[in-house]
Structure 1
Amino acid sequence: MEQGKRRRTKNYYDYSLLFLIIFLVCFGLVMIYSTSSYNAAKYYDDSTKFLRRQMLFAIAGIPIMIIVSKIDYRIYIKRLPIIKIRPITLLFFLCILLQTVVLIFGEATGGSQRWISLGGLGKFQPSELTKICVVLFTAYIVQLAPRRLDNFFGFVRVVAFVGPLLALVVVENFSTALIIAAIMVSICFVASRKKGYFVIAGILFIVAGSFLVFGVSYRGERVEVWRNVETHPKGYQILQGLYAIASGGLFGKGLGNSMQKLGFIPEAHNDMIFSVICEELGMFGAIAVIMLFLLLIWRLFTIAINAPDLYGGLIATGVLTHIAVQVLINVAVVTNSIPATGIPLPFISYGGSSLVVLLVEMGLVLSVSNKIEHER
């Protein structure tokens, strides 16, 4: 028998990515308890309030991730047998509907109308589901005719399809719209053989973003806060976060020993959780967390380049971009490198909608990895 005939292949499953995700979720639970226990006990008489809520979402989200990882990712672009509609098309119109509903009937939090109340079950942020939709839908549109992306008008075609969702999100949530735009552009960039016109596209996006920032009063004010964080009345949160980072030193004050979380940093368990990580675990802990995210991004990149088809590779690319941009923005905001915006640290910041959506995205990438064949 020839040597080539003796070779057998089996499907691959990225267990290293799976364990890395679970570790980040568990680390997030530890940090949420550390950052929230004082205020939870003070205002709710229950030091574990936020930990228990996040743990419930983690317990629900991890099995969902594993189930999604065992579903063939190509099923989302196949027509359903009875109604002859693709699941991704249904998801797209569902997100359009939810984003419209939240603009009309949504619950305002922190001055922005981004949430839909679910009664006793809490609140849901439709823009989180929209991130999954944009990853799957953009990858689907691109893989239909990838060669069209070799010119600028092919890129405009993709923008025209994704544009309605992007427009609905940007009305109340510029930072999430920025992430969605980055996902869309990165998928197009990877699929295109000619990259030159992306310079023009980048300039156009920067110009549009500038109008959206400086044309809205509260967004323009955030730029002023960023430029004058020490003197501006609304620079308090960022300034306290910087104090936390500076006081952590090399190895930190020890887990649970942060002073800034004791009412100085408002809602420290949310977007500013990285500053408390720096204070309690020091420079060493902060670098370790960043290295974990770099390792996660590397695993996503490995799956993207080894995906069995273009659609799977583009899904992994979109998820990689989502994680990378969100980590970059969160760390940049906490360190006052860019103006403040409400972007949580993936897997670690408090937030049920964000955590479950991230786990579903990880399930999609694991599903792609499960179709990669390698020799036994």
Structure 2
Amino acid sequence: MFDKNSNKAKDTKSKRKALSVNTENSLTEARPAQRMVRIIGEVDKPFMILTLVLIGIGVIAVASSSYSYAEANHGDSYYFTKNHIFYVILGIAAMFAASLLDYRIYKKLSRLIYGIAIVLCVAVFIPGLGHTSGGATRWLNLGIKFQPSEILKFAVIVVCAKYAADAKEKIKGFKCLGFYVLILGISAGILVPQPHLSCIIILCALVFCMMVMGGVNWIYLLSALGLAGVAGVVLISVLPKLSFLSHAGSRLAVWFDPFDPLYFKNDGWQPAQSLFAIASGGVWGVGLGQSNQKDGYIPEPQNDYIFSVICEEMGFVGAVAIMLVFAALIWRGMYIAKKAPTVFSGLLVAGIVCQIGIQTLLNIAVVSNTLPSTGISLPFLSYGGTSLVILMAQAGIVLSVSRHSIVEQE
């Protein structure tokens, strides 16, 4: 009997040991999943959700706006939609990866990031590497085509954020103005020959925003605005005389009256058709997928002028709703910047959010002919390639800062 009980005891002990091992293994296997959920739970959910909402709207808008154009030019109605979804998937992966990366690495590598961006922007002029389209040499072909200027925008934000964080009280001195002028001068100087006027405009606005948020004295800010005004007047006066910027001068003339018979059938066609689309939408729109202007009237409707198709199909109500989502995203981004653990991280987030806001305002202004055509895409909504991936990676950086903020506040 003792032997029987002893055997039972041994069996019970071995079962407990096996159960313990199995439990330990199951817990070990569960740890990565639990860790994954915890990380996602730490980022700022409102910002992440708003970003994903805009991306989702973008997929629908690209599918609707590009349908006819894709069928006519590629023989596949969903050509652009499939490509866009592919880049959205890459962008989500980039956003998630960036959200896990420690934001402090950008401060350490700020000069390197800016240097690489400058080198890439110069490389577009190297035969065999640069790609020219529509008279502009803005693309670099390294197996995939992309615009280095998209990286340059982020690089300018990083170096300006680092400078302001390190300068502290010196930021209020006159010398600080020289730094910002130097950064803007180098960046714009490389973009002028491409030519890439739209990016120069964005960089000017970005640098000014970084100066304001960095704490630069208002006297120097007004001085900077004065210099920018003088430069703008000079640029406008010489645009028609510069062969590589002649198209910019033409766009400026078209802006005053796109319906002028002199321009209507040429450069005025796109802004005029955009205005027709907005007017056709009315209050409630003609219905999703029912736009007439996208059918051969608005050139490449899935790109810069996608918002005009949205206005036609979704009307004033739909357009305002999308603008409110953008406004909520910008507000939430600024909230994250305010709660950021360091000066650098706060300025980094604020700069990225300002970039999104500036591009959104400029795009909508161009589509409504409030500003001349500049070739600026609508963030998250326009058909995108690497530019969409880079922008989503920047959104991931905002989430990274929010994750660190929450951890440090607990």
Which residue number in structure 1 is paired with residue 248 of structure 2? 219
SS across alignment from 2:137? strand
The reply to whether residue 366 of structure 1 matches residue 368 of structure 2 is no
Residues 154 and 210 (structure 1), Cα distance of their counterparts in 2 relative to 1, 3 Å cut: same
Instruction: Give CA deviations for 1:129-175 in whole Å, capped at 9, x if unaligned.
Output: 11111111211122111322213331222332453223212331111
The reply to whether residue 260 of structure 1 matches residue 290 of structure 2 is no
Instruction: Give CA deviations for 1:60-112 in whole Å, capped at 9, x if unaligned.
Output: 1111111111111012223xxxxxxxx22222221111111113432111221
Q: TM-score scaled to structure 2, two decimals?
A: 0.83
Percent of paired sites with the same residue: 38
Partners of 1:12 and 1:372 within 8 A in 2: no
Question: Counterparts of 2:165 and 2:185 in 1: how far apart (Å)?
Answer: 18
Aligned length in residues:
357
SS across alignment from 2:286? coil
- Quote the offset at 1:194 in angstroms: 2.7
Question: Counterparts of 2:122 and 2:217 in 1: how far apart (Å)?
Answer: 36
Question: Counterparts of 1:152 and 1:190 in 2: how far apart (Å)?
Answer: 16
Q: TM-score scaled to structure 1, two decimals?
A: 0.91
The reply to whether residue 148 of structure 1 matches residue 151 of structure 2 is no
| Runs (5+) with no aligned partner, structure 2 | 1-38, 241-246
Question: Counterparts of 1:147 and 1:155 in 2: how far apart (Å)?
Answer: 13
Question: Counterparts of 2:177 and 2:396 in 1: how far apart (Å)?
Answer: 28
Partners of 2:334 and 2:353 within 8 A in 1: yes
1:39 pairs, out of 61, 69, 85, with: 69
Question: Counterparts of 1:185 and 1:173 in 2: how far apart (Å)?
Answer: 19
Question: Counterparts of 2:343 and 2:187 in 1: how far apart (Å)?
Answer: 23
Question: Counterparts of 1:30 and 1:41 in 2: how far apart (Å)?
Answer: 17
Question: Counterparts of 2:235 and 2:82 in 1: how far apart (Å)?
Answer: 38
Which residue number in structure 2 is paired with residue 6 of structure 1? none
Larger RCO: Structure 1 or Structure 2 (Cα < 8 Å, ≥ 6 residues apart)? 1
Letter in 2 for 1:67: A
Structure with max Cα Rg: 2
Partners of 2:176 and 2:216 within 8 A in 1: no
Q: CA RMSD for the aligned pairs?
A: 1.7
| Runs (5+) with no aligned partner, structure 1 | 1-9, 79-86
Which residue number in structure 2 is paired with residue 192 of structure 1? 215
Give the 5 Å matches for 1:218-237.
218-231=247-260, 232-233=262-263, 234-237=267-270
Give the 5 Å matches for 1:26-65.
26-65=56-95
Partners of 2:171 and 2:215 within 8 A in 1: yes
Q: Which moved more, 1:353-362 or 1:148-157?
A: 148-157
Residues 375 and 133 (structure 1), Cα distance of their counterparts in 2 relative to 1, 3 Å cut: closer
Which residue number in structure 1 is paired with residue 99 of structure 2? 69
- Quote the offset at 1:263 in angstroms: 0.5
Instruction: Give CA deviations for 1:195-216 in whole Å, capped at 9, x if unaligned.
Output: 2321111111122133234322
Question: Counterparts of 2:346 and 2:42 in 1: how far apart (Å)?
Answer: 15
Question: Counterparts of 1:200 and 1:88 in 2: how far apart (Å)?
Answer: 27
